[in-house]
């Protein structure tokens, strides 16, 4: 198990270990193969049994394990070996992944909920005695005592459990917003203060029971929502951890090895293909590269970097390839930045949009206005009932359920989709996806997987088959295009490719470079033959050509197989009323043949990225809602230009950076799933909103006319919140897609 020996390197260890104050080390790892409760237990027992291990926490849905242990007794490689020996191979995660936020949040919520519940029950018993006392055998002083006891028992509820609302309200005020926390805080505090005043005075109504129950029920609804949110978060984490940022490390002999970016150390040489992420801070070693540092500067525009200049981890390489000498590893800032990159999708989990916040703000504003009007109205008619009626309106009309509807439903949908191999990076895209009626697909790499069969290599002008393959592979190795990748992987079995110099990748056309001083071009016929001016027979025009200054050297006939689920996905989308279009840079005849095979009528060949974008714009102008699906760097413009975009997880990072949805494991059918979930979200949100509006419209008049006592208002409002949260959990339960969940 020498694969883990690298982790003995102090720089690497520093990236993943968190040294605790007591001198022990803490690490978070992603483990593969935790499928059953049995395995979880066995793993826990074995790790716990290692010398020096203090704590093991297994988060099964997230496939994460956290271990606190003493490194004097068990080394880091030893610990990882122990994981591997149980059959659950562990991949250490960056130090930043050790976050307690989720468990801290849920512990906190649970404590608040229980304190509120316990003391609300106490207050309720006292209230019961007071109600009876008003009728019968409890004398006046005892009644006074019970009022004081109620005050005392509701203190922990108001001063501990409900503080989460106060801090939320303060945050909302600081952001100049009206939110639900504000109206909840107002209701709780005003009722509590008024009841306290009445207790001190010894006369007047007290509402300690209502206020405690209100807080308890509201916390219960929030707790349910939080659990669902954490579960989706855990599923998303599991998916993200499964695809760590990779780097291609160059060995002294020129060969490349794929390693996790986290394992790079200073002095390593790294090869970066166009469209990939720069995996570590370093110095550029080839002539020029164009990068997009949007992740760092927030501004997306190409920046040119020349030999000897620094490339910063996390930026995207636009034109490549680039050779990098790693300068840093384990530097906190870099790992934090890379963490930000891989957790890009996590932003979406907050699942609230400025638009919905404004909506809630307006709603709260109206509720506050209505409360004031009710109070004023009653002050004119019967001042003694003004307070009670105003409080009832404030509580009954609190738009908690309205505010919870969208986040709760979207959170649930994102979690379900993550489980089914679709990562949503922009939650608002999910709403738009439900309305899509035009889909533009890239062909190569998206709908099809190119492969190079042995018979498909055609040496021209008497060249040797293996030699031409080696030359072509040396060029192909430098690019991330799917055709180039297929070529490079086919050549791998014939030994090491040679090293190409001065390589340039022309997006959508081909690759040029020099091998042992010989200038070579690999790509479409037009591109490869431009320098020599040769003309070639039409039957080779669709092949990939390798040529030098004098003429063609070889032709490669790449065979394209549709992805396994391409047919079913396209059928599913077509049945759903979406117009399908295939646009590809490939030759017209090949595109037409491929489209016919999949039953798509609208197919276009020889399309440059600009042509595709033009096509998309035209569709948008006709009022269609567009979806773009692609995988390569040349698809980035259309992905950015469509209403909703999806990229394959196997595609380049440049494409992924512009996509709203990521389809993992090369599964196109995620699109159909996402579409049906998006529809459900729209339905459930509309239903929940209708419900909360109807509830508010019905309840408010009764409350305003003083017919609803505050305790009933509290129950009604909390139940309606709970109903909305439970309704959100219906997403993903129904429909044909339910079977994988049942199996899980």
Partner 1 sequence: MNILLALIPLTMLGVLVAVAMFFWAVNHQQFDDLDNPGIMPLLEDSAYGEPAAEVARSNDPTGRDPG
- Would you say 22 or 139 has its CB closer to partner 1? 139
- Give yes or no for residue 185 binding partner 1 (CB under 8 A): no
What's the rounded Cα separation, in Å, for the pair 47 and 512?
52
H or E segment and range at residue 699: helix 670-704
- Would you say 110 or 303 has its CB closer to partner 1? 110
Nearest Cα neighbor of 182 from 174, 190, 173 is 173
- Would you say 88 or 187 has its CB closer to partner 1? 88
C-alpha angle 404/206/148, rounded to 5°? 115
Q: Which stretch binds partner 1 (CB under 8 A): 11-19, 81-89, 489-497, 608-616?
A: 81-89
- CA pseudo-torsion sign 44, 45, 51, 54: positive
Residue 215 near residue 153, CB atoms below 8 Å = no
CB of residue 114 vs partner 1: minimum separation in angstroms?
A: 5
- Give yes or no for residue 149 binding partner 1 (CB under 8 A): yes
Q: 15, 25, 122, 371: which one contacts partner 1 (CB under 8 A)?
A: 122
CB of residue 115 vs partner 1: minimum separation in angstroms?
A: 6
Q: 2, 21, 23, 38: which one contacts partner 1 (CB under 8 A)?
A: 38
- Give yes or no for residue 63 binding partner 1 (CB under 8 A): no
- Give yes or no for residue 380 binding partner 1 (CB under 8 A): no
- Give yes or no for residue 744 binding partner 1 (CB under 8 A): yes
What's the rounded Cα separation, in Å, for the pair 691 and 19?
51
- Give yes or no for residue 85 binding partner 1 (CB under 8 A): yes
> Could you tell me the two tokens for 535?
């003309």
- Residues 389-448 touching partner 1, rule: CB under 8 A, are 421
What's the rounded Cα separation, in Å, for the pair 40 and 44?
6
What's the rounded Cα separation, in Å, for the pair 395 and 49?
53
- Residues 662-691 touching partner 1, rule: CB under 8 A, are 665-667
Q: 8, 10, 45, 601: which one contacts partner 1 (CB under 8 A)?
A: 45
Q: Which stretch binds partner 1 (CB under 8 A): 118-126, 174-182, 367-375, 715-723?
A: 118-126
CB of residue 220 vs partner 1: minimum separation in angstroms?
A: 15
Q: Please measure the distance between the N-terminal and C-terminal CA atoms of the chain and give it in whole angstroms.
A: 31
Residue holding tokens 């996509």? 659
Q: Which stretch binds partner 1 (CB under 8 A): 19-27, 85-93, 376-384, 484-492?
A: 85-93
- Cβ partners under 8 Å of residue 497, min gap 6: 470, 473, 474, 477, 488, 491
- Would you say 83 or 594 has its CB closer to partner 1? 83
CB of residue 202 vs partner 1: minimum separation in angstroms?
A: 19
- Would you say 155 or 640 has its CB closer to partner 1? 155
Q: 114, 159, 502, 596: which one contacts partner 1 (CB under 8 A)?
A: 114
Q: What is the DSSP letter of 243?
A: S
Three-class DSSP category at 241: helix
- Give yes or no for residue 101 binding partner 1 (CB under 8 A): no
Q: How many positions of this chain bind partner 1 (CB under 8 A)?
A: 40
> Could you tell me the two tokens for 454?
């042995």
- Give yes or no for residue 161 binding partner 1 (CB under 8 A): no
Tell me how far the alpha carbon of residue 72 is from its chain's centroid: 38
H or E segment and range at residue 191: helix 180-201
- Give yes or no for residue 50 binding partner 1 (CB under 8 A): no
CB of residue 274 vs partner 1: minimum separation in angstroms?
A: 26
Label each residue of 313-345 as H, E or C: CCCEEEECCEEEEECCCCCHHHHHHHHHHHCHH
What's the rounded Cα separation, in Å, for the pair 60 and 40?
7
- Give yes or no for residue 42 binding partner 1 (CB under 8 A): yes
Residues within the interface to partner 1 (CB under 8 A): 32-33, 35, 37-42, 45-46, 57-58, 60, 85-88, 103, 106-107, 110-111, 114-115, 118-119, 122, 138-139, 142, 145, 149, 153, 421, 665-667, 743-744
């Amino acid at each position: 198990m020498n694969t883990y020996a690298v982790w003995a390197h102090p720089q690497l260890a520093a990236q993943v270990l968190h040294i605790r104050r007591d001198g022990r080390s803490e690490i978070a790892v992603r483990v593969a193969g935790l499928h059953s409760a049995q395995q979880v237990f066995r793993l826990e027992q074995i790790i716990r049994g290692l010398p020096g291990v203090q704590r093991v926490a297994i988060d099964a849905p997230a496939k994460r394990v956290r271990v606190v242990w003493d490194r004097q007794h068990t080394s880091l490689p030893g610990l990882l070996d122990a994981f591997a020996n149980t059959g659950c191979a562990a991949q250490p995660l960056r130090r930043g992944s050790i976050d307690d936020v989720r468990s801290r949040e849920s512990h906190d919520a649970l404590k608040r909920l229980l304190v509120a519940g316990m003391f609300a029950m106490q207050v309720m018993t006292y209230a019961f005695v007071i109600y009876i006392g008003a009728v019968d055998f409890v004398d006046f002083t005892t009644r006074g005592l019970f009022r004081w006891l109620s005050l005392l028992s509701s203190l922990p509820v108001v001063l501990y459990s409900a503080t989460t609302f106060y801090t939320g309200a303060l945050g909302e005020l600081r952001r100049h917003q009206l939110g639900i926390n504000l109206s909840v805080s107002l209701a709780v505090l005003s009722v509590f203060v008024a009841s306290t005043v009445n207790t001190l005075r010894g006369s007047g109504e007290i509402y300690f029971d209502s206020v405690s129950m209100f807080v308890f029920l509201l916390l219960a609804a929030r707790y349910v929502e939080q659990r669902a949110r954490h579960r989706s978060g855990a599923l998303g984490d599991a998916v993200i951890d499964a695809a760590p940022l990779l780097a291609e490390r160059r060995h002294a002999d020129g060969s490349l090895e794929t390693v996790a970016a986290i394992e790079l150390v200073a002095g390593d040489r790294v090869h970066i293909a166009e469209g990939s992420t720069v995996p570590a801070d370093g110095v550029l070693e080839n002539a020029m590269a164009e990068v997009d540092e949007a992740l760092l500067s927030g501004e997306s525009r190409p920046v040119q970097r020349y030999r000897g200049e620094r490339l910063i981890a996390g930026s995207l390489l636009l034109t490549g390839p680039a050779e990098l000498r790693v300068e840093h590893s384990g530097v906190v800032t870099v790992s934090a930045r890379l963490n930000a990159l891989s957790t890009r999708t996590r932003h979406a989990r907050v699942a609230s949009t400025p638009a919905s916040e404004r909506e809630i703000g307006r709603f709260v504003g109206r509720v506050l206005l209505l409360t004031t009007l009710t109070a004023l109205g009653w002050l004119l008619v019967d001042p003694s009932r003004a307070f009670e009626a105003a409080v009832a309106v404030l509580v009954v009309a609190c738009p908690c359920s309205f505010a919870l509807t969208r986040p709760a439903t979207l959170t649930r949908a994102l979690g379900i989709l993550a489980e089914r191999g679709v990562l949503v990076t922009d939650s608002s895209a999910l709403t738009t996806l439900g309305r899509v009626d035009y889909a533009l697909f890239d062909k190569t790499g998206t709908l099809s997987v190119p492969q190079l069969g042995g018979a498909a290599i055609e040496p021209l002008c008497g060249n040797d088959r293996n030699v031409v393959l080696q030359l072509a592979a040396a060029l192909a190795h430098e690019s991330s295009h799917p055709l180039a990748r297929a070529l490079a992987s086919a050549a791998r079995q014939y030994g090491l490719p040679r090293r190409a110099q001065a390589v340039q990748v022309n997006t959508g056309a081909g690759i040029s470079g020099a091998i042992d001083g010989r200038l070579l071009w690999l790509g479409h016929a037009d591109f490869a033959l431009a320098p020599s001016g040769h003309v070639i027979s039409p039957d080779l025009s669709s092949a990939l050509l390798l040529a030098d200054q004098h003429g063609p050297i070889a032709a490669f006939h790449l065979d394209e197989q549709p992805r396994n689920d391409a047919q079913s996905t396209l059928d599913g989308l077509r049945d759903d009323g979406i117009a399908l279009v295939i646009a590809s840079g490939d030759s017209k005849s090949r595109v037409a043949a491929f489209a016919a095979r999949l039953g798509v009528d609208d197919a276009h060949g020889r399309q440059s990225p600009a042509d595709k974008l033009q096509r998309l714009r035209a569709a948008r102008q006709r009022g269609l809602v567009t979806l773009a699906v692609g995988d390569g760097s040349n698809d980035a413009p259309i992905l950015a230009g469509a209403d909703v975009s999806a990229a394959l997880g196997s595609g380049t990072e440049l494409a992924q950076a512009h996509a709203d949805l990521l389809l993992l494991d090369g599964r196109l059918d995620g699109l159909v799933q996402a579409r049906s979930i998006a529809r459900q979200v729209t339905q459930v949100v509309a239903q929940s909103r209708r419900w909360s509006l109807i509830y508010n419209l019905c309840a408010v008049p009764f409350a305003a006319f003083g017919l609803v006592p505050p305790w009933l208002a509290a129950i009604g409002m909390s139940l309606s919140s709970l109903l909305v949260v439970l309704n959100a959990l219906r997403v993903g339960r129904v429909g044909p897609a339910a079977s994988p969940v049942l199996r899980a």
